[in-house]
Structure 1
């Protein structure tokens, strides 16, 4: 991404020095080997802390811009979604609640692009950078600050006493602007530390919340995992009894395969898959046999793009061979091995090709779409 490239250009060599310890956080200041930094733009700083929660829970909390944020982020005054670019990128408007002589200093607000991604190890990266937007112009009574770079790095740690632990790094380099106090180093540093202290508020929020459940990214997959594990355990306990496979058993087998194909599930899901590694091949075989026996009338589905099986055809669609893709094997947790995907679990029945002079967003949300 260009965003990451810009970050690398802004910080040619990343060396950090411990600036202070506050509220159980280690706050670092970046040592940048450059000849010049703008007076109003201080050095980048980051706060590092440990939160007793899963990476998924921390990520869900960071992404929320509702009233829950008032309970852990003291620098948050208000915020809203300006534009949702795609599933990983959005434009946000954010008003800051700074406590540095509020009677004399004008409040600050931000308009920035937020991008997130999930890594294979279960960690999350959330990136911020200021962006101008036509629907988010300067607001009366506020000074528009500028985020040079910032974000969260959410990484899993080994659990302790049965409790999940996550390392949260919050990095920020911001230009608070302003014709006067924006050039005072004490103002810049105080406000920046105030922003970074949200990690401590996050830690205390999880500590003092008894019942919490972060919404999974794909709730259906969680239910499928539970059903698959229950079916595998039940079949494992049977002795010399082989009943005829039912629809429910075969559906569970399909779900087990789906979980094995998902490259983004957390470590807890990988531990659950150990129950089904011995019987996964048998379930998959039964599912394929039953699927071959089912007959579905595909004539009720139609699209404006024809279906052609030839590789050299144009303006058409076809289904690729599943062996062209590699997925995690049942021994992936031990040797990181991958195997050909094999037969697909679902069939593509029709394709619609949309053309327009401008970009089309959220096609599946439109009224009358088959996905509804």
Structure 2
């Protein structure tokens, strides 16, 4: 994390009176004056991590405070220590990025680490650690709100009132002398339990409901192929089988249950390997031991179990498996579990080594910010051999309840009973509101906003404020108004006709209707990856229809309805599959790029999306879309193409959908839309007749983890990608698909190197 020192002298400090500590002594107060005064304040204990001047790592317990876009850090809680001065303070900037590094060992405990860095200068960085994944997410949401405030203030500011970046200081360096931070605080939102609970690494957290987001729980953003049928109900859970993929060697089962606890709490309990906790709900794999931690989102675990209570044999079993977890932009948690081999854990004497079934845990919050709920939907999916499952179903004498598979699926029931028997885990909340006794007249924003402030607290986050639909379990809940499909009761013929009409209207609004369209000849454009000639062709690309995606409809702001996507606005020209030792930026400027060809220069507009994939070597998937008319400058696309990077980051959206591939990869990638500008670092290059977007997937540890899994199965995957400019205002709706591409079983070995291609990581040229 990096902030800049305030340009204050000792004389200025002595002139200032009061501080944030004196402002939070009281516990009650009136309402604030003005809309701008109603912004909440967030505070709580965190660990500040870094390296000192002599190269030693440090880990300091600090009290972090955030109001609006202003941040302060204290050694002690200012409400308990009136008159204390902050040791650091600064202003949230629109250029700050926050990366979730996952679980790390800090002070003999497992904590969740957030990395802060400047998007334009990654040398300015720092880290904080939180007790739970839920607390880390809440801080990310708080800083996201602060960033939005910074973006807004910057958009309306002029001259000397604009944020300045001089006197920047790394948090890992020397602490500056600072003046008073704030005065007249009214609404404080506490995150976490305090230093004692932080050190004990508690997990009794309840979900903090965001104030300006809505979780849509009934639809996804791409059509899924699974077809689930309930085959058993036991202990308050339902067990389903996937009947869509009959004939394959493996079969999918899943158990689904509603757990009366917050999303973060349930996730912490499942991820915990604490023996005493697991013995209370896990009847099979209670004995677990951490073998290796690869990174904050990936580890290897060793376990044992005795199946004598389930089967007729009494052989002791041991196993090794890897766990990979991540949280989506909608707050949903996913844990992938694969059988593994590790040299540190050979078979134990007296135990028989076995492989656990590949499985996935999914945790989804029920309800929305407008209707808070402490309950969550827990789903566990399990892969079994088809022959084994067929035998279970065909043998009426066979007791499925006495199998290992049933014991694994019953872990959901164990969680349900565990939380019902421990109400203390669900009754306490980490977010409490504290009011000050200051009068409304005491709040003077000018005192909070120093007009000569030069400090910047750089931030941006991976969790966006515009949450997309939750993953759908069409067998779990009935469709609601928050996620209905417009064409549910309309014939497909009428739907297609409406899509075509909307597509024609769209082209007239987003593209310049006063200019005649040119004819795009696909034969004039070539990339290193060839266009597919049929469904059986491999290592190729094609253009899918938009009807496999769900996008925001005309009435989305009123009823959150989504509609089937129509034909893409831009035509897919070609795809390059490239490799290099480091990221390849600004591909469009390369003389061999189709953008620089004579045919490319004649096109009114070209959109280049460069997906930078971290690996050894690094890959770049460059996708080229062309327009048959110039862009309408007044349209949403025109404002995106010629807008600021801040605007582009808040609107550039991707919907992925794996059409064919291994089921665990499908679940890991998901089908929900992602705001790429908030999840990873995007760099933009606007010149001549093109816009290039360089998407650095490696800038997020979560994205790196997922893409690493995908690369392991990429030669057997068919994936559709749809790119959109997110519509947020009524006059921008309905949404449209900007461009789409289908990648059919791409072979990494076929990637080529462009001679003389720029491979540095410099930022793009100004727009």
- Normalised by the shorter chain, which TM-score bucket? 0.5 to 0.7
240 and 81 in structure 1: CA distance in 2 versus 1, 3 angstrom threshold: closer
Deviation at 1:141, TM superposition (A): 2.2
31 and 98 in structure 1: CA distance in 2 versus 1, 3 angstrom threshold: farther
Structure 2 partner of 1:179: none
Q: Per-residue displacement from partner, 1:88-125 (whole Å, max 9, x unpaired)?
A: 00010121343446673312222011000001111100
Determine if contact 2:289/2:303 at 8 Å carries over to the other structure.
yes
Structure 2 partner of 1:210: 423
Q: Distance in 2 between matches of 1:266 and 1:72?
A: 35
Query: What secondary structure is seen at the aligned counterpart in 2 of 1:245?
Result: helix
Deviation at 1:209, TM superposition (A): 1.4
User: Aligned pair 1:44/2:252, yes or no?
Assistant: yes
User: Aligned pair 1:166/2:366, yes or no?
Assistant: no
Determine if contact 2:262/2:426 at 8 Å carries over to the other structure.
no
Q: Distance in 2 between matches of 1:60 and 1:215?
A: 15
User: Aligned pair 1:242/2:450, yes or no?
Assistant: no
Structure 2 partner of 1:141: 350
1:91 to 289, 300, 316: 300
Q: Distance in 1 between matches of 2:378 and 2:253?
A: 14
Q: Distance in 2 between matches of 1:337 and 1:87?
A: 21
User: Aligned pair 1:76/2:285, yes or no?
Assistant: yes
User: Aligned pair 1:18/2:230, yes or no?
Assistant: yes
Give the TM-score taking structure 2 as reference length: 0.27
User: Aligned pair 1:117/2:326, yes or no?
Assistant: yes
Query: What secondary structure is seen at the aligned counterpart in 1 of 2:424?
Result: coil
Q: Which runs of 5+ in 2 are unaligned?
A: 1-223, 386-393, 467-643, 652-674, 679-767
Deviation at 1:43, TM superposition (A): 3.2
17 and 337 in structure 1: CA distance in 2 versus 1, 3 angstrom threshold: closer
Structure 2 partner of 1:191: 404
Structure 2 partner of 1:59: 267
Deviation at 1:264, TM superposition (A): 3.4
Q: Relative to structure 2, which stretch is displaced further, 51-60 or 83-92?
A: 51-60
Structure 1 partner of 2:366: 157
Deviation at 1:204, TM superposition (A): 1.6
Q: Distance in 2 between matches of 1:324 and 1:147?
A: 46
Determine if contact 2:306/2:314 at 8 Å carries over to the other structure.
no
53 and 213 in structure 1: CA distance in 2 versus 1, 3 angstrom threshold: closer
153 and 108 in structure 1: CA distance in 2 versus 1, 3 angstrom threshold: same
Deviation at 1:213, TM superposition (A): 7.2
Deviation at 1:212, TM superposition (A): 2.4
Alignment of 1:353-364 (within 5 A): none
Q: Distance in 2 between matches of 1:328 and 1:234?
A: 37
Q: Per-residue displacement from partner, 1:217-262 (whole Å, max 9, x unpaired)?
A: xxxxx8xx97xx868x878x61376387369xxx9x989x96xx44
Deviation at 1:156, TM superposition (A): 0.8
Determine if contact 1:156/1:166 at 8 Å carries over to the other structure.
yes
Deviation at 1:17, TM superposition (A): 2.4
Q: Distance in 2 between matches of 1:214 and 1:146?
A: 38
Q: Distance in 2 between matches of 1:130 and 1:215?
A: 36
Q: Distance in 1 between matches of 2:282 and 2:354?
A: 18
187 and 121 in structure 1: CA distance in 2 versus 1, 3 angstrom threshold: same
Q: Per-residue displacement from partner, 1:327-367 (whole Å, max 9, x unpaired)?
A: 769xxxxxx9989xxxxxxxxxxxxxxxxxxxxxxxxxxxx
Q: Which runs of 5+ in 1 are unaligned?
A: 1-11, 176-183, 217-221, 268-322, 330-335, 340-372
1:29 to 234, 238, 241: 241
Q: Relative to structure 2, which stretch is displaced further, 204-213 or 19-28?
A: 204-213
1:264 to 451, 456, 463: 463
Query: What secondary structure is seen at the aligned counterpart in 2 of 1:71?
Result: coil
Determine if contact 1:98/1:194 at 8 Å carries over to the other structure.
no
Q: Distance in 1 between matches of 2:407 and 2:416?
A: 15
1:107 to 292, 299, 316: 316
Query: What secondary structure is seen at the aligned counterpart in 1 of 2:299?
Result: strand
Length, aligned pairs only: 241
Deviation at 1:30, TM superposition (A): 2.8
Q: Per-residue displacement from partner, 1:245-284 (whole Å, max 9, x unpaired)?
A: 369xxx9x989x96xx4443999xxxxxxxxxxxxxxxxx
Q: Distance in 1 between matches of 2:226 and 2:324?
A: 21
Q: Distance in 2 between matches of 1:205 and 1:98?
A: 21
Q: Distance in 2 between matches of 1:149 and 1:241?
A: 57
Query: Which of the pair is proportionally richer in strand?
Result: 2
User: Aligned pair 1:131/2:340, yes or no?
Assistant: yes
Determine if contact 2:278/2:286 at 8 Å carries over to the other structure.
no
25 and 108 in structure 1: CA distance in 2 versus 1, 3 angstrom threshold: same
Q: Distance in 2 between matches of 1:171 and 1:157?
A: 19
What is the CA RMSD across the aligned residues, in angstroms? 4.6
327 and 61 in structure 1: CA distance in 2 versus 1, 3 angstrom threshold: farther
Deviation at 1:195, TM superposition (A): 1.5
Query: What secondary structure is seen at the aligned counterpart in 2 of 1:239?
Result: helix
Deviation at 1:81, TM superposition (A): 0.5
Query: What secondary structure is seen at the aligned counterpart in 2 of 1:81?
Result: strand
192 and 101 in structure 1: CA distance in 2 versus 1, 3 angstrom threshold: closer
Determine if contact 1:122/1:265 at 8 Å carries over to the other structure.
no
Query: What secondary structure is seen at the aligned counterpart in 1 of 2:279?
Result: helix
Deviation at 1:205, TM superposition (A): 1.4
113 and 187 in structure 1: CA distance in 2 versus 1, 3 angstrom threshold: farther
Query: Which of the pair is proportionally richer in helix?
Result: 1
